[in-house]
């Protein structure tokens, strides 16, 4: 039985069948369609459609990247309610603040190792400014010119540029000249003000986040986009968030991938909110794959999702697994992820991918293939 007949056999809702037709014909689905998928699309249905899209785009390839993280500080001027990681400046003795030399020690630890990317992200420290980070970037670039420098969420950049009293264009140009090549996708959370004002009222708003990424894209840089899901947001807010990203991607084409981030509830001011269940997680990944038609890549970040759920997402639209080797990032372990010390060898990661019948492919930041693991 082909995809169309299987779907007609199990699904009778006319709206859902019309969406299945669009997906089969490679047509874009609307915001209303996306909402209907959230409201009525059962896991098997959205999974079959998402897998169809994934195979059309990537055959059976699943990518991973060898990177390492630097977290300069967890001291932060902002007070996002979902954050388990940050410490206020007045409590900075409980947190960490790395000097440029300490961060260079981390970089030097990877000398001679086949990593292709460094991911720099942390809290928004009132004293770590534009000049400080430009110096860090140029030091890393001089030491290791082959590393792709990906760093700083739009939240960090927005604060840094405002503090330095420079425009977004000027600030981004300076970071780019110092060596910054891509932006990670953090800080996006949920753009809609009804949610943003409750969960992270004091940091850059949705328009500001999008404007920073648009500026980076206009300078020829690439970036990722995230969505923090599974807390107080409604399906409408997810659709609005993904639609705004899809519109910017239509305009610039600068996003490399979309990364849904599952809200974890330990040790933060939203601990009373239950975490989403695995069916909701998989449905979300599948619906994102179907709706975000101009994002080539859908990424799961396994240190936060857990290895088994991350492995399952590979059959629900995901074609990229992040958090590969020696990933010691603290943001999720502090928020309750079961992966307290997340680290996987390349062999373990390939096994995870191959166990679901897919081919593991090492990529660089821009998704150029480095090695196919047959």
SS3 (DSSP) at 273: coil
For ligand V47 (CB under 6 A), the number of binding residues is 22
Say which entry of ligand SF4, ligand V47, none residue 318 contacts (CB below 5 to 8 A, set by partner kind). Answer: none
Say which entry of ligand SF4, ligand V47, none residue 70 contacts (CB below 5 to 8 A, set by partner kind). Answer: none
Kindly tell me which residue out of 37, 46, 124, 130 binds ligand SF4, with binding defined by CB under 6 A: 124
Does 317 sit near ligand SF4 (CB under 6 A)?
A: no
Does 123 sit near ligand SF4 (CB under 6 A)?
A: yes
Does 344 sit near ligand V47 (CB under 6 A)?
A: no
Does 263 sit near ligand SF4 (CB under 6 A)?
A: no
Total residues found in the chain within this entry: 374
Task: Look up tokens 């534009």; give the residue.
Answer: 130
Kindly tell me which residue out of 210, 318, 331, 350 binds ligand V47, with binding defined by CB under 6 A: 331
Kindly tell me which residue out of 268, 297, 313, 324 binds ligand V47, with binding defined by CB under 6 A: 268
CB of residue 114 vs ligand V47: minimum separation in angstroms?
19
Binding range to ligand V47, per CB under 6 A, among 97-105, 131-139, 171-179, 184-192: 184-192
What whole-number distance in Å separates Cα of residue 106 and Cα of residue 124?
Answer: 20
Kindly tell me which residue out of 69, 203, 231, 246 binds ligand SF4, with binding defined by CB under 6 A: 203
Residue 42 CB burial class (10 angstroms; 0-12, 13-18, ≥19)? middle
Q: What is the DSSP string of 49-93?
A: HHHHHHHHHHTTEEEEE-EEEE--B-B-S---TT-SS-B-GGGGG
CA neighbor of 158 nearest in space, from 210, 98, 196: 210
Does 83 sit near ligand SF4 (CB under 6 A)?
A: yes
Does 86 sit near ligand SF4 (CB under 6 A)?
A: yes
Say which entry of ligand SF4, ligand V47, none residue 78 contacts (CB below 5 to 8 A, set by partner kind). Answer: ligand SF4
Q: How far apart are the two ends of the chain, measured CA to CA in Å?
A: 29
Helices then strands, counting H and E runs in the chain, come out as: 15, 11
């Amino acid at each position: 039985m082909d995809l169309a007949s299987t779907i007609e056999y199990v699904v009778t809702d006319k709206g859902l069948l019309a969406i299945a037709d669009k997906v089969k014909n490679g047509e874009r689905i609307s915001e209303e369609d996306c909402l209907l998928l959230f409201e009525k699309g059962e896991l098997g249905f959205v999974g079959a459609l998402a897998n169809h899209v994934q195979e059309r785009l990537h055959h059976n390839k699943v990518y991973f990247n060898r990177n390492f993280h630097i977290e300069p500080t967890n001291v932060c001027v902002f007070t996002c309610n979902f954050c388990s990681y940050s410490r206020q400046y007045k409590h900075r003795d409980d947190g960490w603040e790395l000097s440029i030399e300490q961060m260079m020690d981390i970089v030097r630890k990877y000398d001679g190792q086949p990593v292709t990317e460094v991911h720099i992200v942390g809290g928004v420290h009132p004293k770590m400014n534009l000049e400080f980070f430009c110096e860090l970037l140029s030091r890393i670039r001089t030491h290791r010119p082959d590393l792709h420098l990906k760093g700083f969420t739009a939240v960090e950049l927005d604060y840094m540029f405002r503090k330095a009293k420079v425009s977004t264009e000027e600030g981004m140009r300076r970071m780019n000249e110092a060596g910054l090549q891509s932006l990670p996708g953090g800080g996006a959370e949920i753009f809609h003000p009804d949610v943003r004002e409750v969960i992270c009222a004091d940091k850059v708003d949705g328009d500001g986040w999008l404007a920073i990424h648009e500026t980076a894209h206009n300078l020829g840089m690439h970036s990722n986009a995230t969505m923090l899901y599974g807390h107080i947001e409604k399906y409408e807010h997810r659709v609005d968030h993904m639609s705004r990203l899809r519109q910017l991607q239509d305009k610039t084409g600068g996003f490399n991938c979309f990364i849904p981030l599952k809200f974890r509830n330990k040790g933060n001011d939203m601990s009373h909110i239950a975490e989403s269940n695995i069916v909701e997680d998989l449905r979300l990944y599948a619906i994102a794959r179907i709706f975000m038609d101009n994002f080539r890549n859908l990424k799961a970040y396994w240190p936060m999702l857990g290895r088994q759920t991350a492995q399952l997402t590979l059959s629900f639209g995901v074609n990229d697994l992040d958090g590969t080797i020696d990933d010691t990032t603290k943001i999720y372990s502090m928020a309750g992820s079961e992966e307290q010390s997340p680290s996987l060898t390349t062999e373990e990661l390939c096994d995870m991918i191959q166990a679901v019948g897919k081919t593991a492919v090492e990529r660089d930041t821009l998704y150029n293939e480095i090695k196919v693991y047959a």
